[in-house]
Structure 1
Amino acid sequence: MSTRLAAPDPAQRSRKRGAPGRGTGAASSPRTAPHAVGILLYDEMTLLDVAGPLDVFTTANTRGARYEIRLLSLDGGPVTTSSGARMLADLTVDEAAEYDTLIVPGACALPPAGADLLAAVRTLHRGAARTAGVCTAAFLLAHEGILTGRAATTHWQYAELLQRSYPAVKVDPDAIYVQDGPVITSAGVTAGIDLALALVREDHGAALARDVARELVVFLQRPGGQSQFTTLSRVPAATSDAVRRVVDDVLAAPQLAHTTGTMARLAGLSTRHLTRTLHAELGMTPATFVEAARLELAKTLLLSGESITATARAAGFGSDDTLRRSFTRHLGITPSDYRHRFSAPL
């Protein structure tokens, strides 16, 4: 099927790139000139990475903003998204003018980093006052050096790979979005809406951005970070038999009193050697790994209907307060909020 997503009749092309507004709070005052937004399209991109920001900007236009949106593809032709929907472009990349804001969407996995797509990102970024990468688009920006020395984020499943592949990027794996100067990146898929709302807030103030969020029935600022959506499947597999024994033992019963000493004895290592080995293989200290395992058990118990007190005891936290502090520190939300957010309705 073909889907055409475009702003209502963006008849005029951007005349001159302007610096993005800084949001004085005067949300009711329209811009004196349109704010040109270019959205790069390519095959296998995620549809919502484009549709989410597009709806934010067009909804902002009904509240007094003046975003002029152009959809760009490498050859000006339609693209096929990862869901199979086709999108039509307004212009080729070569026809594109300079933009106040460039949006680069991500893909379900890593974007197809072909030479033409990378060249388009490079060219469009040079002509943009502000560049935004949604989800795994961070890999395209990082490849072109746009994120070098900057803080950034991406989908939690790929954050470690982004950091490993581009050590000069300061990856925040838990952030919903990160803005570092004129470059902004977001977490996965729906976080493109959070990113676009942040841009609207910067351009037109919190009041207008809040109106847009209400219209779209989303948070203006989503509570918590990406960690609330993740699981221990993120932990790399242990490579040594010693660490594997420890991991299996802790995951089998996280609620037990696993100390560095007991884990070291099970592994047949000194406590210092175990700490070094566990950190090298899993990226965690023994205490951090135990807490992560208990947190996963607590999530399961909460979603199965257990009370917070029962969950705290059964998962090895001992008290409601300790459980609450762990949730808040690692997930950015309370146990009650987590249960309300992820429990299936009866």
Structure 2
Amino acid sequence: MTRDAHDVLLVVYDGVQMLDVAGPLDVFDRAARAAGAGYRVRLASVGGRAVRTSAGLDLAVSADLMKVRKPPETLMVAGGWGYADAVADSDLLRHVQRLSAGARRIGSVCTGAFVLAAAGLLDGRRATTHWAFCAELASAYPAVAVEPDAFFVRDGALATSAGVTAGIDLALALVEDDHGAELACAVAKFLVVFMQRPGGQSQFGSRTRGELLRAGALRDLVLGIDADPSGDLSVPAMAARLGMSRRHFSRLFSQAVGTSPGAYVERARVAVARTMLERTVDGVDVIAERCGFGTVETIRRAFSRETGVSPAAYRDRFRRG
């Protein structure tokens, strides 16, 4: 390896997701082939053992995490369904901590963020993970500022990505850092992926907090909003339903749910609209009316805020059959 080469160590474990590993590997490999970018990527596990992916394939490993002495330039942790066991592996966490101290940058793909968080590397930092696990990450590690919509988040030398294919987005960004946008764009074109995907990961998954709340009138209200957000869900109407003043209701709702009543209602309406866009041929105007938006312009603005794309663009990408 030349002096200018980038040493990338990708940490893996049993239950890792294959694409979390293969995506970044192919980005770095193509960059090296296209311009002699000088990446050397090694897979490392505790004990240097081969790991079994969540798809049931055995993955050969080239480095024993416990024997790697020199910190890599880039340390990354892959994600997968085995993340819960990984965060309970004290040896894995100890060596991730040790190697991170000398690494120039540290990253994760998908639920690999849980490993970084368990190692204390995300405390006081902004981070993301797969949309389906953002609430769990925020709950388990309250010192982490979780950003659920981003495909990847950079906070200083730390970079975390959303689920699965978002590891490709992150790897492309790292190649751009190292060798410029022209090479990163060429790699993206060869792999037939976006250099920068439109919107955020909110367009791929919905978020609801009703099931996270304790039993009570507020929980019933929130679950009702999730089930049918088309009615009168103004703050005065909801406050009256619970027998509270508007001010007290707004404060209590924000404290319990983590967002304002208006923002939550908008999110719930977008979630229902998304389902209708995926499964029906109804016009956007009809969907806007049925979901409580009222006008096409209102639903367009809400979609832009929540998913980063328009209702029409969302339907083009996700409509079923």
TM-score between both structures, scaled by the size of structure 1: 0.85
Q: Give the gaps of 5 or more residues in structure 1.
A: 1-11, 15-31
Gaps of 5+ in 2: none
CA drift at 1:169? 2.5
Matches within 5 A, 1:145-160: 145-160=120-135
Trace 1:75-114 onto structure 2 (pairs within 5 A). 75-96=47-68, 97-108=70-81, 110-112=83-85, 113=87, 114=89
Is the Cα contact below 8 Å between 1:93 and 1:124 reproduced in 2?
A: no
In 1, distance between residues paired with 2:216 and 2:49? 54
- Which of 38, 51, 56 lines up with 1:66 in the alignment? 38
Residue 44 of structure 1: SS of its match in structure 2? coil
Assess, with a 3 A threshold, how the Cα gap between structure 1 residues 154 and 248 changes in structure 2: closer, same or farther. Answer: closer
Instruction: Identify if the C-alpha distance between structure 1 residues 41 and 229 changes in structure 2 by more than 3 Å, giving closer, same or farther.
Output: same
Letter of the 1:344 partner, please give it. Answer: R
Shift of the alpha carbon at 1:272? 2.7
Kept in 1, the 8 Å contact 2:210–2:226? The answer is no
Greater relative contact order (CA < 8 Å, ≥ 6 in sequence)? 1
- Code of the residue aligned with 1:82 in structure 2: it is S
> What code does the residue aligned with 2:232 have?
A
**Equivalent residue letter for 1:222:** R
Percent identity among equivalent residues?
Answer: 44
- 1:99 and 1:56 map into 2 onto residues whose CA distance is 18
* Post-superposition offset of 1:109: 6.0
1:38 aligns with 2:9: yes
- CA deviations on 1:247-275 (whole Å, 9 max, x unpaired) are 35434542222222221222233323322
Aligned positions, number: 316
Secondary structure of 2:44's match? strand
Partner Cα distance (1:143, 1:255) in 2: 41
CA RMSD of aligned residues (A): 2.0
Matches within 5 A, 1:157-168: 157-168=132-143
**Matched residue type, 1:92:** D
Deviations 1:197-256 (A, max 9, x none): 110111111111111111111111111112112224454344343224423543454222
Contact 2:104/2:157 (<8 A) preserved: yes
Contact 1:245/1:266 (CA < 8 Å) preserved in 2? no
Distance 1:341 1:234, change over 3 A: farther
| Partner in structure 2 of residue 344 of structure 1 | 320
Tell me what 2:179 maps to: 204
CA distance in 2, matches of 1:166, 1:244: 23
In the aligned structure 2, how far is the partner of 1:164 from the partner of 1:314? 34
Q: CA deviation at 1:101?
A: 1.1
CA distance in 1 between partners of 2:93 and 2:202 (Å): 30
Q: Using a 3 Å threshold, how does the CA distance of structure 1 residues 321 and 252 change in structure 2: closer, same or farther? A: same
- The 2-side partners of 1:176 and 1:280 are apart by 27
Aligned residue identity for 1:55: D
Of the structure 1 ranges 227-236 and 45-54, higher mean CA displacement relative to structure 2 is found in 227-236
Aligned partner of 2:205 in structure 1 is: 230
Q: Distance in 2 between matches of 1:56 and 1:135?
A: 16
